[in-house]
Chain A
Amino acid sequence: MQCGHAGPRGVRGACAPWLPIRVAERRWQAYAVAAGASPDECHGQRMIAWTDVRAADGPRWDTFPPDVFRMSNPGTPQAVLRGARKRYGKVVALDGVDLALHAGQVLTLLGANGAGKSTAIALLLGLLRADDGEVELFGQAPQVLAARRRIGVMLQSAGIADQAVVGELLDLTRSYYPRPRSVADCIALAGLDGLLGRRYGRLSGGQQRRVQFALAICGDPELLFLDEPTTGLDIEARTGVWRAIRELVARGCGVLLTTHYLEEAEALADRVVVLSRGRVAAAGSMHEIRAHVAQRRIRCLSALDAAVVAAWPGVRDARRDEARLEILTDRAEDAVRRLLAEDAALSELEVQRAGLSEAFLDLTRDSTDDPRREAA
C-alpha cells in the first residue's frame, strides 16, 4: 500500500531515500496503514499517537524507535566542521576544529566561556564565515536557504521584540519552513499552554525560553541547534524540555547542544566534544569522556586512619567525615580489596565513578596547564 506522504516526519525532497530515517519512515507508514489507518484517514490528518504504534503488537515494532536511530555513525553527517579556523583580530576563537553532527544523535559541546562554542555554532549556522577549513550543512554552505530550512535554532539571545505576541511569533517562524509542525504539537512539545495570546515581553524568563524552544522546533527540523536551552528554566520545565528533546531524537532528529549544566549533558548527550581555547580537547561518547577520569570515590564506615590510607599506593586522597571515610583513588579495586582485608567491621561500602563535571574540569585543566597533554 502506498501512501502519498511520509509518516512521522515531512517528506524531504533533498533527503536521500536510503538514509535510515527514510527507511524507517516508510516502515512506519506501512505499519500505520496495516494497523488500521486507511490512506484516506492519513490524508485527513488522522493522528496516530506514538504510543499506539508502540503498543500495537508486531514483531519489529515492539522496540520502536528502531535501534537504527541510535547507531554510532548513521551514514552521512548532517553538518560538518573540518579544520575550521576563525579569528577575531588577534584572538583565535577556533583553531582547527573538527565536528560532525549525525541524525538521531545529541552532540554536546562543552567548554568554558570563550572556549569557542558560540563561534562553532555561528559557523554552522552561516552567521560567520570560517577563515580556513570547511563548513557544511546538509552538504551545502550554511548560507544556502534550502539547507537552513532543515534546521531549527535556539540561540542564547533571540532579541525578540517585547511587543510581539507568542502566537504571531509561532505563525511567522512556521511560515519560513516548507512543512511546519502543527501549532498544537509545538504547544505540547514546548509546554506553551495558555501562552499563545501573551506578549513576549510580559512573559517570565523561563516562559520566554520555552517560546524560543517552540520556535526552534516549529519547522519540524531534521537538525536542532540548542545553545543553552534550559538556562533560566525551573526543574519541571527543564525536564519537560529534556523529554521533548529525547522524543525528537528518537524520531531521528540530530541535536547540537551547548550547556552549562553538566547533568543536562549527562541526561541527553550521545557524544561529547570538549572545547578548550578553540581546540577540541576531547571527543567521544559520554562513557569515553568520563573514562578520561580514572578516579573513583570510595565511601565507607570504617575506623581506619585516614592518614594511613592516604599513603596507600594509587590513593590520591583520603579524609574522614565523622564516622565516614572518603577515598579518592585511580585503582578502586585494589583499595577496596585492602580496605576489606584491614577492617573486618567496615560497612556501607560505596564506589562511585566521577561524573561528567569532574571529567570536564580535569580535561580543561589539563589543556590549560599543560598543552602537551591535550592529545592524551
Chain B
Amino acid sequence: MRMLTPSIPSPARRHSPWRSYWLETKYELRRVLRTPSFVLPSLLFPNLFYLLFGVVLNRGNGDATRYLFATYGVFAVMGIGLFAFGVTVALERERGLLAYKRALPMPPGAYLAAKVATAMIFATLVSVLLATVAATLGHVALAPWQWAALLAVNVLGVVPFCALGLLVGLLIGAQGAPAVVNLLYLPMSFLSGLWLPLSMLPALFGTLAPAWPSYHLAQIALRVIGMPGDGGSPFAHAALLAGFAAVCWLLARRRLARA
C-alpha cells in the first residue's frame, strides 16, 4: 500500500446512471456464462428434447415437427425465466447481495433490469439454436417474418416467467426454490400442451389449460407459425400474460423491499 495521491476528478465524463444499467447487465451476463450448471441445461436440454421428440421420433410428420418447434421454444424460455430468476434471486437475497446493493447507490431497478436483460439474451440464444435445428434437421419451412416473430415472442415471453420465478424464489427461499421451480416447470409444460398437443389428451386437460401462463404463450407461438391453436385472439393471450406478470411483480415487490 502506497501513499495516497489526491485524485483529481476528470471533468471529461459526466456521470450517467445508464452506465450502471449497462455494466450491471454486462457483468451479470458474464457471471451466468461462467456458470455451466445453468448454461448447459438451459441451452441444450430444449434442443435435445426437440431433436429427439420433434425431429427423430416424428420423422415424416411435418406438422408435429412444426408444432413442437413452437412449443419447445416456449418450454426453453420458461426454464430460463424460472431458473434464472427463481433460483438466483432467492440465493442472492439470502446471501445478502440484495441488501448490499440497496445500501450502495445503485440506480433503483438496475439489479432486476440486468437480470431480465440477461434472461432475454439467453432466450435469444436458445431460440436461434432451436430455429437452426428446426430449419436444418427438422426441415421446418417458415416465412422470414415468421422466424422473426417467433423469436420476438420467445424473447418477450420470458418476462412473465421471470416474474413468476421471482415470486417463487422470494416466497420459498433458496433452499426450496429449485424443487418448487421444477415442480412448476415440468407439469406446467405438460399441461399446457408443450410436449403433446392438448387434443391428444383427455378433455379435462384442455379445460384446465388456460390456467397456466405457458399455455397462453404457446398459443401465441402457434399462431405465428400458422397453426390455429384454440382459435383465441393472440392479443387476448398476450394481455393475459402481461396481467399475470404484473400481478407476480406486485406481489414480489413488497418482499423485495424487505430484502
Task: Tell whether A and B belong to one assembly.
Answer: yes
Most central of B7, B30, B35 by chain A CB within 10 Å: B7
* A interface footprint on B1-38 (CB within 8 Å = 1, 0 otherwise): 11111111111000100011001100100110011000
> How many pairs, one residue from A and one from B, have CB atoms within 8 Å of each other in the complex?
129
Q: Which of B19, B92, B99 contacts A161 (CB 8 A)?
A: B92
Known pairs A148-B105, A175-B20; A185 contacts B7 (CB<8 A) = yes
Q: Which of B11, B23, B102, B106 contacts A127 (CB 8 A)?
A: B102
* B interface footprint on A142-158 (CB within 8 Å = 1, 0 otherwise): 00010011010101111
Q: Which residues of B contact A181 (CB under 8 A)?
A: 7
Known pairs A50-B3, A159-B96, A164-B31; A45 contacts B103 (CB<8 A) = no
In the complex, whether B143 has a CB less than 8 A from a CB of chain A is: no
In the complex, whether A66 has a CB less than 8 A from a CB of chain B is: no
Known pairs A48-B5, A155-B96, A155-B103; A161 contacts B31 (CB<8 A) = yes
Cβ-defined contact, B27 with A158, below 8 A: no
Q: Which residues of B contact A160 (CB under 8 A)?
A: 97, 100
Q: Shortest beta-carbon distance, B25 to chain A, in Å?
A: 10
In the complex, whether B108 has a CB less than 8 A from a CB of chain A is: yes
Cβ-defined contact, B5 with A47, below 8 A: yes
In the complex, whether B104 has a CB less than 8 A from a CB of chain A is: yes
Q: Which of A47, A145, A156, A175 contacts B7 (CB 8 A)?
A: A47
In the complex, whether B62 has a CB less than 8 A from a CB of chain A is: no
Instruction: Name the residue of chain B whose CB is nearest to the CB of A172.
Output: B23
Most central of A10, A172, A188 by chain B CB within 10 Å: A172
Interface residues on B, range: 35 or more
Known pairs A5-B11, A159-B96, A181-B7; A153 contacts B103 (CB<8 A) = yes
In the complex, whether B255 has a CB less than 8 A from a CB of chain A is: no
- In chain A, positions 152-181 with a C-beta closer than 8 Å to chain B are 153, 155-161, 163-165, 168-169, 171-173, 175-179, 181
Cβ-defined contact, A163 with B35, below 8 A: yes
Q: Which residues of B contact A48 (CB under 8 A)?
A: 5-6
Cβ-defined contact, A28 with B6, below 8 A: yes
In the complex, whether B59 has a CB less than 8 A from a CB of chain A is: no
Q: Which residues of A contact B19 (CB under 8 A)?
A: 175
Cβ-defined contact, A43 with B11, below 8 A: yes
Distance, CA A177 to CA B13, complexed state (A): 12
In the complex, whether A77 has a CB less than 8 A from a CB of chain B is: no
Distance, CA A205 to CA B65, complexed state (A): 52
Cβ-defined contact, A45 with B100, below 8 A: no
Cβ-defined contact, B99 with A7, below 8 A: no
Cβ-defined contact, A172 with B27, below 8 A: yes
Distance, CA A49 to CA B7, complexed state (A): 9
Instruction: Name the residue of chain A whose CB is nearest to the CB of B33.
Output: A163
Cβ-defined contact, B104 with A176, below 8 A: yes
Q: Which of B24, B96, B105 contacts A172 (CB 8 A)?
A: B24
Q: Which residues of B contact A6 (CB under 8 A)?
A: 9
Cβ-defined contact, A158 with B15, below 8 A: no
Q: Shortest beta-carbon distance, A183 to chain B, in Å?
A: 10
In the complex, whether B95 has a CB less than 8 A from a CB of chain A is: yes
Cβ-defined contact, A185 with B5, below 8 A: yes
Most central of A5, A159, A190 by chain B CB within 10 Å: A159
Known pairs A145-B107, A161-B31; A51 contacts B3 (CB<8 A) = yes
Most central of B6, B35, B102 by chain A CB within 10 Å: B6
Cβ-defined contact, B96 with A219, below 8 A: no
Known pairs A145-B107, A179-B15, A189-B4; A168 contacts B97 (CB<8 A) = no
Instruction: Name the residue of chain B whose CB is nearest to the CB of A45.
Output: B8
Instruction: Name the residue of chain A whose CB is nearest to the CB of B24.
Output: A172
- Top 8 A-B pairs, shortest CB-CB distance: A159-B95, A159-B97, A8-B6, A159-B96, A178-B15, A47-B5, A163-B34, A148-B105
29 residue pairs of the A-B complex, CB under 8 angstroms, read A4-B11, A5-B8, A5-B9, A7-B6, A28-B6, A45-B10, A47-B6, A48-B6, A49-B3, A50-B5, A126-B102, A126-B103, A145-B105, A153-B100, A153-B104, A157-B100, A158-B97, A159-B94, A159-B96, A159-B97, A160-B100, A161-B31, A164-B27, A172-B24, A173-B104, A175-B19, A176-B20, A189-B1, A244-B1
